[in-house]
Structure 1
């Protein structure tokens, strides 16, 4: 996982926090480590039907346990802020 995080940092790639309860691939320990490295994140519900949007709370919980703040998670950005951030790549 360390190599994945290092590559994400080097390439400016955001890491996904998959909030689907049967997935939750990225745990809070790696979230914290990636944050300390300066990696950005997106939180994804992996929803396939409407009720699964409720799974966002699992992803937010993982983000909080990893000490993420609003500025660390791209899908909390306004449209203008997101476009500006993406153009920095």
Structure 2
């Protein structure tokens, strides 16, 4: 996982906290390490049907266990901050 985190930091890539119960790829330790490295994180439900939107609670719970606050999660940013994040991301491509 260390190599993944280092590559994400170097590339300026956000990592996904996949909230689908059978996924949850990033655990709380990984999330905490990503936060310490300044890697942006996004919570995703990996939803394919409307009944799965409730999975967001698993992603939020995992993020909280990793000590993330609202301002640490890209998809909770206000519009202005999101636009800044996206502009920075585009410049890196």
- Give the TM-score of the pair, scaled to structure 2: 0.91
| 2:17 aligned with 1:31 | no
Unaligned runs of 5+ in 2: none
Aligned residue number for residue 20 of structure 2: 20
Aligned residue number for residue 88 of structure 2: 88
| 2:78 aligned with 1:78 | yes
RMSD: 0.9
- The 2-side partners of 1:9 and 1:71 are apart by 18
Aligned residue number for residue 67 of structure 2: 67
Following TM superposition, where does structure 1 have runs of at least 4 consecutive aligned residues deviating by more than 6 angstroms?
A: none
TM-aligned CA deviation for residue 51 of structure 1: 1.1
- Give the TM-score of the pair, scaled to structure 1: 0.94
- The 1-side partners of 2:12 and 2:37 are apart by 11
| 2:50 aligned with 1:50 | yes
- The 2-side partners of 1:36 and 1:81 are apart by 20
TM-aligned CA deviation for residue 80 of structure 1: 2.4
TM-aligned CA deviation for residue 69 of structure 1: 1.1
What's the secondary structure of 2:47's corresponding residue? coil
